Amino acid sequence: NVSLVLFTADLRLHDHPPLRAALDGARQVVPLFVRDRAVDRAGFAAPNRRAFLADCLRDLDAGLRERGGRLVVRSGELVEQVCRVAAEAEADEVHLAADVSAHARRREESLRRALESEGVRLHVHDEVTTAVGPGTLAPASSDHFAVFTPYFGHWSRARLREPLGAPRTVPVPEGVGSEELPARKDLAGLSPGLAAGGEEEGRRRFASWLRSGVGTYEDGHDDLAGDVTSRLSPHLHFGTLSAVELVHRTRQVGGLGAEAFVRQLAWRDFHRQVLAARPGAASADYRTKHDRWRSERTAHAEIEAWRAGRTGYPLVDAAMRQLSHEGWMHNRGRLLTASFLAKTLYVDWRIGARHFLDLLVDGDVANNQLNWQWVAGTGTDSRPNRVLNPVTQAKRFDPDGAYVRRWLPELADLAAPAVHEPWKLTGLDRAALDYPEPVVTLSEGLARFRRARERP
Ligand code: FAD
């Protein structure tokens, strides 16, 4: 008999329970990935993520070929394509990991109906993208945790399954054709410094992180110029690495850095369980509704300056340029640029979140939207009115200005503190810089914020 395994956000061979179940139950297995048109229609197929995905598919195919198999790739409507491949392969079962997004749940239901009408069984396994899945933990009074600290207490005590190794062989039947695999070289509009994708690259990065990165994470994770975080986020997004395996292996290393890193992985699960319980939070304010945001129409020039990294606040601009150059931004930069847009410019957080999703290689509905809501004060932050000051943040997290100089060549000759406050320069020193004045003063930004938040 033949089983089909549908890969989605789990593009790996290690620790893949649906693949293992399919191999245990069938003589041959068809590993399938469908480039789902619905994802394109939803505007979610940003070039950077498509490029990273192309790497992941090629690497998955290479891993399968080493095991005697290969990957089958098809494009189109997912349900239709899965049914078609199941018929071609004469498969009697389809295995798939659950996904909690509203889109994925609807898709799963239509898939079940369509397959069952053809006499094919659908096995939906537990989701495999988190360490502790959505719905596993909940306080007595609700279906999900809305505050991180108590969630983390329970998360830390949760029993994780043992991670699985990669299969030795994957026998794939003849006669099931695949489209040509996508390649990043065929894509336009990519960030020039985009990282490479694929399970092999993810595992190499993680191994090196455990050896020589995680030890300095506790002290260094907010140091913008030091850039010592793991950069594993795109691998977690595409599932080339398993969060369960990451937690297990990091805990084995131990120490303060390991604890701090595992805590960040819990944040990822936290946001996922919020979105699973409240799918509307992808676009609607989660806890506190604010309705006085400035819009694309009322703040066009300021929003454009923010997107282009030309706000006149060097740390904000450096982080925005890192985003466009790498398709990735340091977490401290994300916090600051989001706070600047939502709280200093008082622009609707959805506009910023959209821009991030257009560029981030790790762009993820749960993590992006709920982090934006956290910063904008509509989400789960217990101090929703805190505003990050770009100058204070610069002095704390880029004290000698190295991060700003790296990303803003026009300020490369300035030392701290001038590099963080170029508006204080006078005369020829200021005139020589091709760098804008601040789009708004911080005091005006704060006044705007207070006016908008103070009723009536
Ligand atoms: P590390 O510091 O090495 O952390 C390890 C892993 O923990 C990360 O890879 C990530 O999976 C997880 N993690 C860390 N911080 C967070 C967090 N605050 N929330 C959820 N998970 C976290 N992360 C995304 O993966 N996709 C996004 O689209 C995204 N958008 C964001 C938008 C804003 C406004 C903010 C403030 C944060 C966003 N984050 C997002 C969270 C975080 O900034 C990134 O996960 C992190 O910077 C990735 O770098 P890293 O892998 O080196 O992280």
pLDDT in tens, 396-417: 999 999 999 999 999 999 999 9
- Is the pLDDT at 104 greater than 90? The verdict is no
Same domain, 325 and 428: yes
| Residue 177, domain member (yes or no) | no
- Is the pLDDT at 100 greater than 80? The verdict is no
Quick: pLDDT tens for 214-249: 999 999 999 999 999 999 999 999 999 999 999 999
Nearest-atom index, ligand 1, CA of 364: 28
Segment 145-169 mean pLDDT? 97
| Domain termination site, one of 127, 142, 175 | 127
What percent of the chain lies above the pLDDT cut of 70?
100
- Measured between alpha carbons, how far apart are the two ends of the chain, in Å? 68
Cα(331) to centroid of ligand 1, in Å? 6
Predicted pLDDT at 51: 97
Query: Tokens 């993520």 belong to which residue?
Result: 49
Predicted pLDDT at 201: 98
Segment 110-134 mean pLDDT? 96
Segment 164-172 mean pLDDT? 98
| Residue 418, domain member (yes or no) | yes
Closest-CA residue, ligand 1 atom 4, reads 264
| Residue 284, domain member (yes or no) | no
Starting at the earlier edge strand, list the strands of the sheet with 93-97. Answer: 72-76, 28-36, 2-7, 93-97, 121-125
Same domain, 135 and 229: yes
Same domain, 324 and 362: yes
Same domain, 41 and 140: no
Same domain, 258 and 321: no
Segment 442-449 mean pLDDT? 96
CATH of the domain at 320: 1.10.579.10
Q: Predicted ipTM?
A: 0.99
Same domain, 43 and 62: yes
| Residue 360, domain member (yes or no) | yes
> pLDDT grade, residue 58 (50/70/90)?
very high
List the one residue out of 250, 258, 242 whose CA is nearest residue 202: 242
Same domain, 19 and 98: yes
What string of H, E and C letters represents the secondary structure of the chain? CEEEEEECCCCCCCCCHHHHHHHHHCCEEEEEEEEEHHHHHCCCCCHHHHHHHHHHHHHHHHHHHHCCCCCEEEEECHHHHHHHHHHHHCCCEEEEECCCCHHHHHHHHHHHHHHHHCCCEEEEECCCCCCCCCCCCCCCCCCCCCCHHHHHHHHHHCCCCCCCCCCCCCCCCCCCCCCCCCCHHHCCCCCCCCCCCCHHHHHHHHHHHHHHCHHHHHHHCCCCCCCCCCCCHHHHHHCCCCHHHHHHHHHHHCCHHHHHHHHHHHHHHHHHHHHHHCHHHHCCCCCCCCCCCECCCCCHHHHHHHHHCCCCCHHHHHHHHHHHHHCCCCHHHHHHHHHHHHHHCCECHHHHHHHHHHHCCCCCHHHHHHHHHHHHCCCCCCCCCCCCCHHHHHHHHCCCCHHHHHHCHHHCCCCCCHHHCHHHCCHHHHHCCCCCCCCCCHHHHHHHHHHHHCCC
**Annotated binding-site residue? 231:** yes
| Domain termination site, one of 105, 127, 149 | 127
Closest-CA residue, ligand 1 atom 13, reads 264
Query: What is the CB < 6 Å shell around ligand 1?
Result: 221, 229-233, 236-237, 261, 264-265, 267-268, 271, 331, 334-335, 338, 356, 360, 362-364, 367-368, 371-372, 375
> pLDDT grade, residue 41 (50/70/90)?
confident
Segment 377-384 mean pLDDT? 93
Cα(388) to centroid of ligand 1, in Å? 18
Same domain, 392 and 262: no
Predicted pLDDT at 327: 98
Same domain, 363 and 235: no
List the one residue out of 56, 70, 73, 331 whose CA is nearest residue 203: 56
Predicted pLDDT at 93: 97
Query: What region does 257 belong to: left with phi over 0, alpha with psi -120 to 50, or beta?
Result: alpha
**Annotated binding-site residue? 362:** yes
| Residue 170, domain member (yes or no) | no
| Residue 13, domain member (yes or no) | yes
Same domain, 67 and 43: yes
Partners of 4 in the beta sheet?
30, 94
> pLDDT grade, residue 44 (50/70/90)?
confident
Question: CB within 8 A of 310, min separation 6: which ones?
Answer: 317, 436
Segment 302-306 mean pLDDT? 98
Predicted pLDDT at 456: 62
* Weakest mean pLDDT among 37-51, 52-66, 198-212: 37-51
| Domain termination site, one of 81, 112, 127 | 127
Phi–psi pair at 265, nearest 5 degrees: -65, -30
> pLDDT grade, residue 105 (50/70/90)?
confident
Question: How far is the CA of 286 from the CAs of 84, 147, 327, 354, 372, in angstroms?
Answer: 40, 12, 27, 17, 11
Domain count of the chain? 3
Predicted pLDDT at 101: 78
Segment 343-369 mean pLDDT? 97
Question: How far is the CA of 193 from the CAs of 51, 312, 324, 377, 412, in angstroms?
Answer: 12, 24, 9, 32, 20
Same domain, 145 and 119: no
Predicted pLDDT at 338: 98
Answer with the residue of higher pLDDT: 169 or 454: 169
Residue range of the domain that includes 13: 2-127
Quick: pLDDT tens for 357-379: 999 999 999 999 999 999 999 99
CATH of the domain at 215: 1.25.40.80
Q: pTM of the full predicted structure?
A: 0.97
> What CA–CA distance (Å, rounded) separates 31 from 60?
10
Same domain, 7 and 143: no
Segment 61-65 mean pLDDT? 98
Given a contact cutoff of 8 angstroms between Cβ atoms, the answer to whether 314 and 411 are in contact is: yes
Predicted pLDDT at 171: 97
**Annotated binding-site residue? 414:** no
Closest-CA residue, ligand 1 atom 20, reads 268
Segment 428-442 mean pLDDT? 95
